Chain A
Amino acid sequence: METTLTARGLARTYAGDGIEVLALRGVDLDVAESELVALMGPSGCGKSTLLHLLAGFDRPTAGSIALGDRRVEGLSEAEWAVLRRREIGFVFQFFNLVQTLTVAENVELPARLVGAPRREARRRREELLERLGVSARADALPSRLSGGQQQRVALARALVNRPRLLLADEPTGNLDSDTAREVVALLRGLGSEGQTVLLATHDPRVAASADRVLQLRDGLLVEETRLEGGDPAEAVVSSLLRLEV
């Protein structure tokens, strides 16, 4: 199976008021095509920092990132933007929808940015919103939606260009358990379409649906757990709860 994402020696240091904070201290990571990988660890361990580096939102202090065969850590802001719109979808914990655009416009935006004809963008949007159960709210502004609805819209926006890599930062962190289950099921299904997912989560139930769980602590990957499809769910969750502590 091909590798979608590779990171080597990825480090990020923040400097401020004369103090250096080592957010990431040399992370090595390989994520295969169609794989769903969960990133776990306590708050402040570097999960969001790692995802931000992999999405090009921030620049690593050291290390390399490759998407497929292409090294990308040195790309400019504009090159990262183009790469994101074509190959990387990102889902935030707090949705980050453009508040001035309607649901439909939010979802169509990345499609329009890659040059999709308006009709094609609309077709993809309608399909995704239908699948996610929010098609009735297409003309609403994000501020009129519940948190669960906003997260589903954010997910639709991230998927509208069928990116090969989806990065999700606590995608169920603000959702009720039913909505969280739906979102997880959707992420789980992406693998069958050849899409790769790397998600950060605190929730062992979410992590339990992954192919692999990576434990991050103090900016380092400290443990990797491969989950076999045959494991009884409760046993997996229990073991992940142990890891989380």
Chain B
Amino acid sequence: MGGLTLKLAFAGIRARRVQSLLSVLVVAAAAAAITIGLAMRSVADRPFERTFEATNGAHVTVESAAGVQALERVEQRPEVVATSGVLPMVWTAFDRDGKRYGLRLVGIGDEPPPVSTPLLVEGALPGTGEVALERSFARFHHLGPGSTLQTPGGLLRVSGTVVVALGNAYPQSQPGVGFARVPTLEAIAPDRATWTHAVALRIADPDAAGAFAAAAQGMQRGRGSSRTWLDFRGEATAPTQVVSVIVSIFGVLLLLSTGAVLATLVGGRVVAQAREIGTLKATGLTPGQVARVLVVEQVGLALLGLAVGAIAGQLLTPTFTWSAASLLNASQIPTFDPVRILIVAGIVLGAVALFALVPALHAARRTTAAALAGGVSGSARRSRLGGLAERLGLPVPAAVGTRGAFARRGRTILTVVALALTVSSAVATLGMEASLDVATDPGVAAPIPGLDTPRFDPVDDDAGEDAILRPVVYGLDALLLFVGLVNLLATLLLTTRERVRDLGVLGAVGMTPRQVTGSLVSEQALAAALAGLVGLPLGLLLFRGAVGLTGGSDEFAYPSWWSLALLVPGLVTLVALLAAPLARRAAAIPVADALRYE
């Protein structure tokens, strides 16, 4: 039976080439979206902790002007399990755009320090005369590998950018930090008496970091300061929480939307094959065998789509994750992650198999005669709501379309659910958009005497986090919109194809092609309106729930009432515009051909 199942499944794919191609494209879009969605969730997942692990972060850092020996004594305490070694530091400044900003240079050797290791994001570690800048600092001032910094002690070339788990991002934390070789520090600040020193330590009991830091600070004779990993985590988490939630919500929305797309397409396609199911059963296949043929057909197409989508997702992922990681001041995630690909494959193939199996079993259990006679239309039901449209005095084509939408309940529910999720995504997106101002106004660090204090300018979108956050949000918006549009087109295409025979009947009783088009567009527009009404509160609930889960309720704003008010008519218009050309084509099929359409 295995060979026969494959043969029949392949025959089904070959016989419905357009729908098969559509299935492959939709699955590919879903796989790509899920790949990106999972990657985004990974980036947003515990950003500080991931960076802390990746950089072998310090439980305690101590800075001191009391000399190297004072810090070495701290290093020798029994609680210490690893140390960066005592690192020299130079405080200097650089000029940019007519202003002078502070710069703290940390001296490193040939190898980066083993604790609180600066993790290279782009470029290279510094050679002599070069500096590797902390990423948020470099990003704020639009600096990157090859840029130069004019300091009072000479010119520094930027070799690369690095990530460290040291709390607040720039400019909340000032001055900006750079890592340079010790000879570079000597060139910039030849007088070693002006140098200070720091040490980053890992201790046996991280929970005791507070007590250890207090003791270490006491050992600096009033000329030192200390901070713990808990301080850093608190600083790093607060401003990135909103961003983290935004990215997480997008990840969830992408998963939900793609699930809806798969359900619509796969389920819809199986439901539409009722007549073929009847034929297979009449030929002698059991309901189980019929269901197997249909599932194998869908899974076969899904495998092809999965391959295409996984490659596309893999190529697109860094575009999204780079910006998101930068925003969250977190380390990057691996671009190629076999586990992630396996998860994507599991989700996609599992969803396709499930969404194919349930309607396939349902359809296969109908009597052979019912399947042969019924086709898609056999599922029509009477609806009081549909009758209401007639009583409201709608034009005849619109009333017929409305009746169709309510009578074909299974298909309409599938369409409405799929579109409602797209609407929910849009609502949540609008909420995030409204929350952007909150996310990008994280406050200002204390000014440094004699230096300019950079801060976010809410008017200048080209500065700081806003310049990164908006493209990330818009990129994710575009991705969601793309998934939503694929869903919309797949739904419209399938429903239009299913309706060709019915449209032929309408033509036969005297509806003009324009009226037939109007009827079908009305049906789709009504589904869109229902989806809007369901999706709007669902989106608000989703947004509110996601915000509540993260405990960040005070930092979020709801979408404006007018943007919500425009959403439903906007969706209805979009659906009508997309449905119209498809409906026109279907209505143009000669009545005789339409009546023969399977």
Contacts and interface: CB of A to CB of B under 8 A. Distances in A.
Interface of A: 52, 55-59, 77-78, 81-82, 84-86, 90, 92, 96-102, 105, 109-110, 112-114, 139-141, 143, 157
Nearest to A79: B512
A113 B504 CA distance: 16
Given A52-B592, A99-B407, A143-B374, A57 B508 contact: yes
A58 B387 CA distance: 33
A78 B513 contact: yes
Given A81-B512, A84-B509, A99-B407, 20 more contacts: A55-B508, A55-B591, A57-B591, A57-B595, A59-B590, A77-B507, A78-B513, A81-B507, A81-B515, A82-B512, A98-B506, A99-B378, A100-B400, A100-B404, A105-B403, A109-B400, A113-B511, A114-B510, A141-B381, A157-B509
Given A58-B590, A81-B507, A101-B403, A143 B512 contact: no
B509 A85 contact: yes
B509 A99 contact: no
Interface of B: 374, 377-378, 380-382, 386-387, 390, 396, 400, 403-404, 407-408, 502, 504-515, 588, 590-593, 595
A177 B506 CA distance: 29
A116 to B, nearest CB: 10
B60 to A, nearest CB: 73
Given A56-B591, A58-B592, A100-B502, A110 B381 contact: no
A82 B591 contact: no
Given A59-B590, A100-B407, A100-B408, A77 B509 contact: no
B377 to A, nearest CB: 4
9 contacts: A55-B591, A57-B591, A78-B512, A81-B515, A82-B512, A100-B404, A105-B390, A112-B396, A113-B510
Nearest to B523: A100
A77 B512 contact: yes
Contact of B510 (A84, A96, A97): A84
B508 A96 contact: yes
A109 B509 contact: yes
A74 to B, nearest CB: 15
A102 B511 contact: no
A102 B384 CA distance: 11
Contacts of B386: 100
A105 B505 CA distance: 14
A84 B502 CA distance: 17
A192 B403 CA distance: 37
Contacts of A92: 508, 595
A100 B408 CA distance: 7
Nearest to B588: A77
A84 B396 contact: no
Contacts of B514: 78
Nearest to B395: A112
A96 B502 CA distance: 8
A24 B309 CA distance: 51
B380 A143 contact: yes
Nearest to B390: A105
A173 to B, nearest CB: 15
A96 B403 contact: no
Contacts of B592: 52, 57-58
Contacts of B378: 99, 143
A120 B508 CA distance: 22
B453 to A, nearest CB: 69
Contacts of A140: 382
A98 B502 contact: yes
A58 B592 CA distance: 6
A157 B382 CA distance: 19
B590 A57 contact: yes
List 4 tightest A-B contacts by C-beta distance, closest first. Answer: A85-B510, A99-B377, A100-B407, A57-B591
A101 B389 CA distance: 12
B400 to A, nearest CB: 7
Contacts of A105: 390, 403
B138 to A, nearest CB: 62
B382 A110 contact: no
A139 B382 contact: yes
A207 B356 CA distance: 49
A172 to B, nearest CB: 19
Contacts of A58: 590-593
B400 A101 contact: yes
Contacts of B502: 98-100
A96 B505 contact: yes
A81 B380 contact: no
